[in-house]
Amino acid sequence: MAVRGMYVGGLIRLRPDWYLGSLQSSSLGELRLIAHEPFREIAPSLRLDDFVRALDAGRETPGDRFAQRYRQLRPTFDPAKVRGRPMLAGKALAGPFIEIDGLTRVSILWSRHLKNDSLPQRIEVVAGISPRIEEWPYACADGHVPVEWASPARY
């Protein structure tokens, strides 16, 4: 929780409403990353697609060990063994969404998608929605990812 808490703690102070939902695996690349300088260094757009392509091209995340962990886990990653859901944040249920927890998982899944590996059709997610998301220091540029919300959506 130490790393996650660093990002999620500030979001919690915005008192988001939390929702469960799912998105098409083919939409993962449109997710935005948190505004974290080592990520922006290799993917200025902060789009997951650009980030994963940079990682797969051998780029390193300066001053951050993410790229090393990603490459270490990618060959043996088994989505069936993963518990929990990636966490997203956004201003509204319609998006755009920032990936705030589960980056290794969604990065590996997107990398596999780019290599035409088989993936689950949909990825279950949880999202914190706050109209004040811009007050969160890790919020980034817009990006739209369609999510289907479970019923009842709010929990």
Per-residue pLDDT of the chain (155 residues; tens, 9 = 90+): 344 556 777 888 889 999 999 999 999 999 999 988 999 999 999 999 999 999 999 999 998 899 999 999 999 999 889 888 999 999 988 888 999 999 999 999 999 999 999 888 899 999 999 999 888 888 875 544 445 555 445 54
Measured between alpha carbons, how far is 76 from 43 in angstroms, rounded to an integer? Answer: 25
Kindly calculate the radius of gyration of the chain based on its CA atoms and give it in whole angstroms.
15
User: The whole model's pTM is what?
Assistant: 0.86
Asked if 117 contacts 22 with a C-beta cutoff of 8 angstroms, the reply is: no
Structure tokens at 25: 């695996």
Neighbours of 112 (CB within 10 A): 17
Tell me what pLDDT residue 139 has: 84
